[in-house]
Structure 1
Amino acid sequence: MVRRIFKLCMEGYGPSQIANILEEDKILVPSAHYKSLGISYPAPVPENPYAWQSRTVADLLSHQEYLGHTVNFKTYKKSYKSKKKLQNDPSKWQIFENTHEAIIDQETFDIVQRIRDGRRRRTPMGEMPILSGMLYCADCGAKLYQVRAKGWTHDKEHLVCATYRKKGKHLCSSHQIRNVVVEEILLAQLKEITAYAREHEDEFIEMVTKSSAKIKEKEIRDSLKECEQSKARVSKLDTLIEKLYEDNVEGKISDERFMKMTTSYEAEQKQLEERVVELQKNILQIQERSANIDAFLNKVHQYTDIQELDAEIIRTFISRINVYAAEKVEGKRRQRIQIIYNCIGEFQPPKHKKTA
């Protein structure tokens, strides 16, 4: 049942639609299911044991327990006298990984979370565009903000950098790009990459493996460089603090000046030391990470003929889209976008290969 709910979400069904499907197929709600097994459950069995609620479906889609993990401290009580449970902030949860058999694999879970994060609600202007929440500014990292208006046709809808829109052009440029332009590029790229992966599978695997290795090597090299620079600065600050102490003892600087400067240096040191720990952890994660080519190929074989984009297809294949500032080249406007695919990262099929 859980696998089916996740599959329905991947197919583009929302919680309300999934709830209706489960009810029509006479699938017991969790409380009724547990009762049928003789297991106690905190919620009562409804009059209609097949009456699924959209909230129940949405909650199930976010449970990390289905990955094989144990999640503690999701709720708390204000005092031992209180019977009411309150929801804890996810940052306060304690997660113990791989404590039992997984029902859902990590890749499926991550895609479903992206679909849920980018879910589109009905508004007075209709459903939100399928690209909502997927595009990012390549310069400042902020999401691109969807711009729409009543009476606009789809070709007028566009996106701009949220930093530019909300904080001003002095912090970032607009990075404005029309929805239809991105959709046309995505459709063409997806058709090209899926066709190439199907028709030249061995070459595709080899290219992705090499590309992934190069990206990992660069990321590790950059992280190591920053780590060494941070360590050198920490050491330099030690020398500066020691010199300040000597100058203060000799009366060359006042106690007030000494305290102000040492406080500033120590704060910088602490920041740098924390960054070093973060970088070292990041290096280990990069070393352990590998392209999940099999997972990507499984998706390719599921979608053999992509003719039109929808939210499910976009979030199944794509992790994020980075949009660069537009430039004028020989009097013409040019704008680059970078597509980061799930499982394999950035990838461009070779141009000389003919794909159907």
Structure 2
Amino acid sequence: MSKVAIYCRLSDEDKNKKSYMDDSESIQNQKNLLMKYALEKGWDIYKIYSDDDYSGLDVDRPEFNKMIRDAEMSKFNIIICKTQSRFTRDMELVEKYLHNKFLEWGIRFIAIVDGVDTLDKNNKKSRQINGLINEWYCEDISKSIKATFRMKQKAGKFIGSFPCYGYSKDPNDRNRLIIDKDAAEIVKIIFSLYTDGNGTQRIANILNEKNIPNPTKYKQIKGLRYKNSSLKNDYGLWNKTTIKRILKNQVYIGNMVQHKCKKINYKSKKIKTLQQREWIIVENTHEAIIDKGTFEIVQRRISSRIRSTLSGKAHLFSGKVRCLDCKSTMAKNCNGKGQNYLRCRKYLIDTKKRLCTSHSISLERLEKVILGKIIEYMNSYCNINELAKKLSEDNDVANMLKGLNVQLGKLERDIIYRNEALKNAYIDKVSGVISKTQFNELSSLFSKELDNLQLKKKELKSKINDLNEKSFSSDYYKKLIEEYKYSTDFLRSIANELIDYIEIGEKSKENLEQHISIFWNF
């Protein structure tokens, strides 16, 4: 008796039909039709192979490949499908199996609706024509879908499955992004840490020390079925690659950036990364998390290839110091006594060839000169008495307190939410919904989050108390301005914005004087 394998397939295009459950393309109706046909022929059904939600061009269909392996092992001698397109829409697979491998293995292929039967030698041209039509159909569908996607992208509509970290889809418009407040705060911290001089690896370490879940883990905690194919572990740790990707993403200044990669063709799963000039960028499509000024400062620092020190911080003028003579960027070196110096990079390539001279300058000395010059300009252009008076007049303590109390309320709600989540996780463990291992992971995560939230709550309450106790007179602001005016941290934070670049001359052999030229942004 002949043994028959039944193959059924349902793809996305079938599921999108308005009444697919009543349509003959549904998996169950395919099975019923093919089983009836086999029984009427008196054939023994070996097995039913069924792939749900797979394209006819997909060569990685699990059940399809199981059937092919079983066919090669001669576990049956007939394969039946409803149509040839259910088996494949790829002309190459038609030729490979229907006209070659199946003949070698002694397999007969039948598509009952198309009238396809490999036992009929006169039927070959019909099978080839069917194969071409099916492939053309896929190509046309692919072009139509791409055209629709491009039109939406050029209109600034988001078409991805998952928005980037810091945003979520608007529940009222799935093609529009809205800010995810919790994640957006972390994005702001990342940009702030970077502008303060921290390197990408140092920022990743800071976030990991605070037990802040990375974007992949965060999406999973939020209940999204997100998978990162390049993820090496599921511990939710940050790395410098993720940090740099966030720092370079224009989405955070309100621009929609799409079409950064594309499939090679409709038959392949391989993705080609596109050059930036090919991206589709539409400005001001959603609310920004980072202001454009800060974003530009970050991009300039990234493009200048500034490297951080072993402590994770770049020196104050990284990427801005040049050799006066050859215009090369000055490189940082450390002598045996732990003192930091800047030297001409071209000179350091090969000191024996003397491509340039050292132009060596102590980093400590350079900082003193530059910061002194900034203070000099501040004293010339900033009237402290008038500024303090203006701040005192403009200050609204009530509004400041109101804002802080709103933040405090949110923190308290978050604490309640985490406590409830911890209780529910315990109930799920007792009920057998989750395993003990899963509970321990969740318990550890929620406990760390609670500790962080309690610490933030304590800090926020301290700020509120300080505001209630302090007097916001003109004298208070004058003292505050004086305090910050000479703060190295403050001067460091504004140095990058004030200075375009610095040129260092070679020391005079006669008096050891060294020319330092500062080119300001004002």
SS of the residue 2:501 aligns to: strand
| Unaligned 5+ runs, structure 1 | 204-299, 347-356
User: Aligned ranges for residues 206-217 of structure 1 at < 5 Å?
Assistant: none
Decide which of 322, 330, 333 is 2:502's aligned counterpart.
Answer: 322
Deviations along 1:97-134, one digit per CA (max 9) or x if unpaired, are: 222221100111123334444231539xx987544321
Which residue of structure 1 aligns with residue 216 of structure 2? 31
Which residue of structure 2 aligns with residue 351 of structure 1? none
Which residue of structure 2 aligns with residue 185 of structure 1? 369
- Quote the Cα distance in structure 2 between the aligned partners of 1:311 and 1:196: 16
Structure 1 residues 83 and 161 mapped into 2: Cα distance closer, same or farther (>3 Å)? same
Give the deviation of 1:312 after TM superposition. 5.4
Aligned length: 240
| Unaligned 5+ runs, structure 2 | 1-184, 388-479
Is the aligned partner of 1:15 residue 2:206? no
Paired letter, 2:366: V
Aligned partners of 2:384 and 2:481 also within 8 Å = no
Deviations along 1:300-328, one digit per CA (max 9) or x if unpaired, are: 97981445479953754444323164597
Which residue of structure 2 aligns with residue 5 of structure 1? 190
- Quote the Cα distance in structure 1 between the aligned partners of 2:267 and 2:362: 54
Give the deviation of 1:70 after TM superposition. 1.8
* Structure of greater relative contact order (alpha carbons < 8 Å, 6+ residues apart): 1
- Quote the Cα distance in structure 2 between the aligned partners of 1:133 and 1:149: 17
Structure 1 residues 111 and 311 mapped into 2: Cα distance closer, same or farther (>3 Å)? farther
Decide which of 321, 342, 347 is 1:135's aligned counterpart.
Answer: 321
User: Aligned ranges for residues 151-162 of structure 1 at < 5 Å?
Assistant: 151=336, 154=339, 157-160=341-344, 162=346
- Quote the Cα distance in structure 1 between the aligned partners of 2:193 and 2:260: 26
Give the deviation of 1:173 after TM superposition. 6.5
Structure 1 residues 32 and 139 mapped into 2: Cα distance closer, same or farther (>3 Å)? same
Aligned partners of 2:216 and 2:226 also within 8 Å = yes
Paired letter, 1:15: T
Which residue of structure 2 aligns with residue 145 of structure 1? 330
Deviations along 1:149-189, one digit per CA (max 9) or x if unpaired, are: 6526526x232274x77699xxx965825133422211212
Structure 1 residues 201 and 319 mapped into 2: Cα distance closer, same or farther (>3 Å)? farther
Identity %: 26
SS of the residue 1:148 aligns to: strand
SS of the residue 1:100 aligns to: coil
SS of the residue 2:318 aligns to: coil
Paired letter, 1:193: Y
Is the aligned partner of 1:61 residue 2:244? no
- Quote the Cα distance in structure 2 between the aligned partners of 1:308 and 1:178: 20
Structure 1 residues 323 and 311 mapped into 2: Cα distance closer, same or farther (>3 Å)? same
Which residue of structure 2 aligns with residue 304 of structure 1? 484
Structure 1 residues 306 and 58 mapped into 2: Cα distance closer, same or farther (>3 Å)? farther
TM-score by length of 2: 0.37
Aligned partners of 1:70 and 1:96 also within 8 Å = yes
Aligned partners of 1:183 and 1:309 also within 8 Å = no
Is the aligned partner of 1:93 residue 2:93? no
- Quote the Cα distance in structure 1 between the aligned partners of 2:481 and 2:192: 16
Aligned partners of 2:504 and 2:516 also within 8 Å = yes
Structure 1 residues 146 and 52 mapped into 2: Cα distance closer, same or farther (>3 Å)? closer
Which residue of structure 2 aligns with residue 284 of structure 1? none
Is the aligned partner of 1:120 residue 2:304? no
Decide which of 43, 51, 61 is 2:237's aligned counterpart.
Answer: 51
Aligned partners of 1:130 and 1:311 also within 8 Å = no
- Quote the Cα distance in structure 1 between the aligned partners of 2:509 and 2:386: 37
- Quote the Cα distance in structure 2 between the aligned partners of 1:202 and 1:91: 49
Paired letter, 1:133: G
Deviations along 1:53-82, one digit per CA (max 9) or x if unpaired, are: 332222212211101112233234445444
- Quote the Cα distance in structure 2 between the aligned partners of 1:57 and 1:161: 28
SS of the residue 1:176 aligns to: coil
Aligned partners of 2:321 and 2:502 also within 8 Å = yes
Decide which of 93, 102, 107 is 2:288's aligned counterpart.
Answer: 102
SS of the residue 2:295 aligns to: helix
Give the deviation of 1:337 after TM superposition. 0.8
Which residue of structure 2 aligns with residue 335 of structure 1? 515
Deviations along 1:36-59, one digit per CA (max 9) or x if unpaired, are: 5555535279643x4333322222
Deviations along 1:11-55, one digit per CA (max 9) or x if unpaired, are: 44433443344345453432343345555535279643x433332
Q: CA RMSD in A?
A: 4.6
SS of the residue 1:159 aligns to: strand
Paired letter, 1:143: S
Larger Rg belongs to:
2
Aligned partners of 2:194 and 2:203 also within 8 Å = yes
User: Aligned ranges for residues 167-206 of structure 1 at < 5 Å?
Assistant: 174=357, 176-180=359-363, 181-196=365-380, 198-199=382-383
Paired letter, 2:503: V
Which residue of structure 2 aligns with residue 111 of structure 1? 297
- Quote the Cα distance in structure 1 between the aligned partners of 2:263 and 2:210: 38
